[in-house]
Structure 1
Amino acid sequence: MSHGILVVCTANVCRSPVMEAMLAQLLDPTRFEVASAGVMAPRGTPIDPESAAQLRARNVPVPERTARQLKRDLVTAADLVLTATRAHRADVLDLDPRALRRTFTLVEFAALCTQVEATDFAGLVAAAATERSRGPRDVDLIDPIGQPTEVHAEVAARIETAVRTIAEVLGRLEG
């Protein structure tokens, strides 16, 4: 059984494509399907060149995709939704309030998944949801669009740290 992970940011050209590409590289594609979308995506726009450069610098394949608008059906189909910021999490919940227990910021979920015990994916997501109040407070990834290369590098490094943690935990789970 494949678990759907949806990653979300504003335009789906910087943070969420980087999260998507890094997760897809580290997770078993037979067990996890990773997709991304933006709450205000300029459809048809490719990944930001600076974000693509950050992926190449880390030997992560740059996705050949364009920005996609976040829609309710994407949220309802996902087993786990990871967002760039708390505001994006709120946008997700505006589309589907029932997604609360499976929607986290990327940084928040990375911290929570190391603090809880679970043997399977559903158990991990449920346990993380129950411990949400014990998660970190600084969970927002700043938007690097239009910012200098150094800002893109800082955001990509923070994403990489969180993604590696999540991938390590997910890789240990059963089925």
Structure 2
Amino acid sequence: ITERLHRHALEVRLGEARSGGLLVESAGTWGHEGAPMEAHAATVLADYGADPAGFIGRELLDEHVIRADLVLTATRDHRAQVISMGHSAGLRTFTLKEFNRLVRAIDPATLPEPDPDLPDGGLVERARALVGAAAALRGWLLAPDPESDEVYDPYGAPITFFRSIGDEINQALDPVVTALTGLPARA
């Protein structure tokens, strides 16, 4: 759900053509390789206006971690699994809610401004600066409790739980997308 909601949020704010500089992908830390999206997840995505079509589960590989400027996970366990893969992943791997918490503490004026004259709109440079600033805050700006950085996996749960998790992810993504793009959410 997270990958599709994130991609949708970027496209809504930037327009599909302008979000090309930021590639949003997903992969799992275990199982579900080649599996379609769970039906409840697809329903929730459609409720948000995101397109669930074409989703196929894939396993997280070294090559994904190596080329990623930012890795967002649902849980601390997932984060630990990514970091254990090496590739300096610890500096750019966060749970979604951890990254949200850190991003909200970063002064946007310290980040590069979007630049419409650049092919990617300056978004890649801004995103890399944001990730570096968030990594620098880690350890200084702690969560009230470890559980507050978790998004629970609704796999196999009823649709009401999926909707609750969809709301949680959407709320956590909004400040992240604002910080990445420099554009506030549309009302």
CA distance in 1, matches of 2:46, 2:163: 12
CA contact (8 A) 1:113 1:128 kept: yes
Alignment of 1:34-53 (within 5 A): 34-53=24-43
CA contact (8 A) 1:21 1:60 kept: yes
Tell me whether 87-96 or 115-124 shows the greater mean CA deviation: 115-124
Alignment of 1:80-95 (within 5 A): 80-95=70-85
- The residue identity in structure 1 corresponding to 2:29 is V
1:147 aligns with 2:157: yes
1:23 aligns with 2:6: yes
CA contact (8 A) 2:65 2:87 kept: no
Say what the alpha-carbon RMSD is for the aligned residues. Answer: 1.5
Identity of aligned residues (%): 31
Alignment of 1:14-163 (within 5 A): 18-27=1-10, 28-96=18-86, 98-117=88-107, 118-119=110-111, 120-133=126-139, 134-136=141-143, 137=145, 138-163=148-173
Provide the TM-score with structure 1 as the length reference: 0.84
CA distance in 1, matches of 2:53, 2:178: 22
CA distance in 2, matches of 1:89, 1:63: 27
Q: What secondary structure does 1:104 align onto?
A: strand
Residues 9-42 of structure 1: CA deviation (Å, up to 9, x unaligned):
xxxxxxxxx1111111122422210000001132
CA contact (8 A) 2:71 2:92 kept: yes
Higher Rg of the two aligned structures: 2
Residues 102-158 of structure 1: CA deviation (Å, up to 9, x unaligned):
000001111111101331222211111111221423111111111111111111111
Q: What secondary structure does 1:82 align onto?
A: strand
- 1:123–1:72: structure 2 CA closer, same or farther, 3 Å change rule? same
Higher strand share: 1
Unaligned runs of 5+ in 2: 11-17, 112-125
CA contact (8 A) 1:83 1:89 kept: yes
